[in-house]
C-alpha cells in the first residue's frame, strides 16, 4: 500500500476515456457474476481489471535524478485481458514469438469448428480445444509429409471469440512454406502462393475432429487432464 501525501502528477488523465472497463465492472460486475457463472479464469480477469493500478496492487515511486521530482504510479496487473496492460503484454509476447520464426515464407491457415460444438466446448474447454489443436496439427503434418515429403513447422494460436465478440473458437496457424526432408538434409520449399489443396485439407481436419469428439471421454472432475499425444507450450495471448 502506498501512503504518500505528495500530489500525484497523473499523465494518464489527459488521455483517459470517460468510462473504463474497470468502471463498468465496478458498477455491474457483481450483478453480472450473480447472473452468469464465470469460470475461475474469467473471475480472475475481472478482479485484475478492477484492481489494476489501484491501491490494492501497491505502487512504486520514480524519482527524477535532475530535479528530485517524484512520480508515483500504482502497479499494473499485467493480465493480458486488461485494457491497460494488454498492449504491452502483447508487444512482449510478439517479440518472443519472432525468435521462433524461420527465414522462410509462411502461410496463414485458419481452422474453425461447427457452432454445434459450442455448448460442448464451453463446459469442456480443455478437452475440446486440445482436440482442436491436435486435429489441426495432425492434419497439417500429414499433408506436409504427403505433399512436401517432410516435416513442416507450425505455430498455432487459439481464439475463442470472433471479431464481433461472439463465441467463435478458431485456430490461427502459421505454417512454414516448406518442409524439412525426412533425412533432414534439404528444405523443400512450396511456391509462394500455394500450400495444400484447401478442400482436401478441410475434409481431413473435419474427419479427425469429428472422430476425436466421438472418442473423447470427458473428465469427471474439472481440472483433471485429458491425455494427449503432444505437449503444447501453453503460452497464451
Ligand atoms: Zn525532473
Ligand atoms: Zn492491468
Ligand atoms: Zn482470430
Arithmetic mean of pLDDT, 47-74: 86
Beta-carbon contacts of 81 under 8 Å, excluding residues fewer than 6 positions away, are 45, 48, 49
Confidence (pLDDT) at 46: 94
Average pLDDT on 6-17 reads 50
Which three three-digit cell numbers place residue 122? Answer: 464451453
C-alpha 12 – ligand 2 centre gap (Å): 14
**Helix residue ranges per DSSP H, 52-102:** 86-98
The pLDDT tens digits of the residues spanning 196-229 come to 999 999 999 999 999 999 888 765 555 554 444 4
Please give the residue that has the higher pLDDT: either 13 or 151. Answer: 151
For residue 84, CA distances in Å to 30, 56, 81, 232 come to 21, 16, 9, 28
State pLDDT tens for residues 154-184: 999 999 888 777 889 999 999 999 999 999 9
Q: What is the DSSP letter of 55?
A: G
Q: Residue 86 burial by CB count (10 A; 0-12/13-18/19+): exposed, middle or buried?
A: middle
| 163 CA to centre of ligand 3 in angstroms | 7
Can you tell me the ipTM of this complex? 0.61
Q: How many CB atoms lie within 10 A of CB 199?
A: 8
Nearest CA to 208 out of 92, 121, 113, 83 is that of: 113
CA of 84 to the centre of ligand 2 (A): 5
Q: Which ligand is nearest to the CA of 22?
A: 2
Ligand 1 centroid, distance to 68 Cα (angstroms): 6
The vertex-170 CA angle with 166 and 174, nearest 5°, equals 140
Per DSSP, which regions of the chain are E strands?
A: 59-63, 70-74, 106-112, 150-151, 154-161, 167-176, 178-181, 187-189
What is the per-residue pLDDT for 218?
60
Distance 13 CA to ligand 3 centre (A): 32
- Ion ligand 2 neighbours (CB, 5 A) are 52, 76-77, 82, 84-85
Mean pLDDT to the nearest integer, 78-96: 85
Q: How close is the Cα of 52 to the center of ligand 3, in Å? A: 26
Q: Please report, rounded to a whole number, the percentage of residues in the chain having pLDDT higher than 90.
A: 47
Which pLDDT value is given to residue 133? 96
Residue 237 banded pLDDT, cuts 50, 70, 90: very low
Does the pLDDT at position 132 exceed 80?
Answer: yes
From ligand 1's centre to the CA of 105, what distance in Å? 48
**Per-residue pLDDT, 222:** 52
Across 24-51, average pLDDT? 91
25: pLDDT strictly greater than 80? yes
Amino acid at each position: 500500500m502506498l501512503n504518500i501525501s505528495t500530489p500525484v502528477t497523473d499523465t494518464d488523465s489527459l488521455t483517459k476515456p470517460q468510462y473504463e472497463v474497470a468502471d463498468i465492472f465496478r458498477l455491474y460486475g457483481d450483478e453480472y457474476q450473480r447472473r452468469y457463472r464465470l469460470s475461475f479464469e474469467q473471475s480472475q480477469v475481472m478482479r485484475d481489471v478492477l484492481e489494476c493500478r489501484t491501491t490494492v496492487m501497491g505502487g512504486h515511486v520514480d524519482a527524477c535524478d535532475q530535479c528530485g521530482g517524484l512520480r508515483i504510479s500504482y502497479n499494473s496487473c499485467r493480465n493480458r485481458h486488461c485494457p491497460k496492460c494488454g498492449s504491452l503484454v502483447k508487444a512482449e509476447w510478439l517479440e518472443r514469438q519472432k525468435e521462433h520464426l524461420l527465414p522462410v515464407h509462411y502461410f496463414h491457415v485458419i481452422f474453425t469448428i461447427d457452432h454445434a460444438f459450442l455448448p460442448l466446448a464451453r463446459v469442456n474447454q480443455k478437452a475440446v480445444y486440445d482436440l482442436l489443436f491436435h486435429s489441426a496439427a495432425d492434419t497439417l503434418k500429414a499433408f506436409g509429409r504427403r505433399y512436401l515429403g517432410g516435416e513442416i513447422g507450425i505455430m498455432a494460436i487459439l481464439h475463442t471469440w470472433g471479431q464481433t465478440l461472439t463465441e467463435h473458437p478458431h485456430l490461427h496457424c502459421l505454417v512454414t512454406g516448406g518442409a524439412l526432408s525426412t533425412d533432414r538434409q534439404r528444405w523443400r520449399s512450396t511456391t509462394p502462393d500455394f500450400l495444400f489443396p484447401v478442400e482436401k485439407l478441410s475434409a481431413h481436419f473435419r474427419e479427425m475432429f469429428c472422430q476425436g469428439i466421438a472418442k473423447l471421454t470427458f473428465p469427471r472432475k474439472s481440472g483433471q487432464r485429458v491425455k494427449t499425444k503432444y505437449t503444447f507450450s501453453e503460452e497464451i495471448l
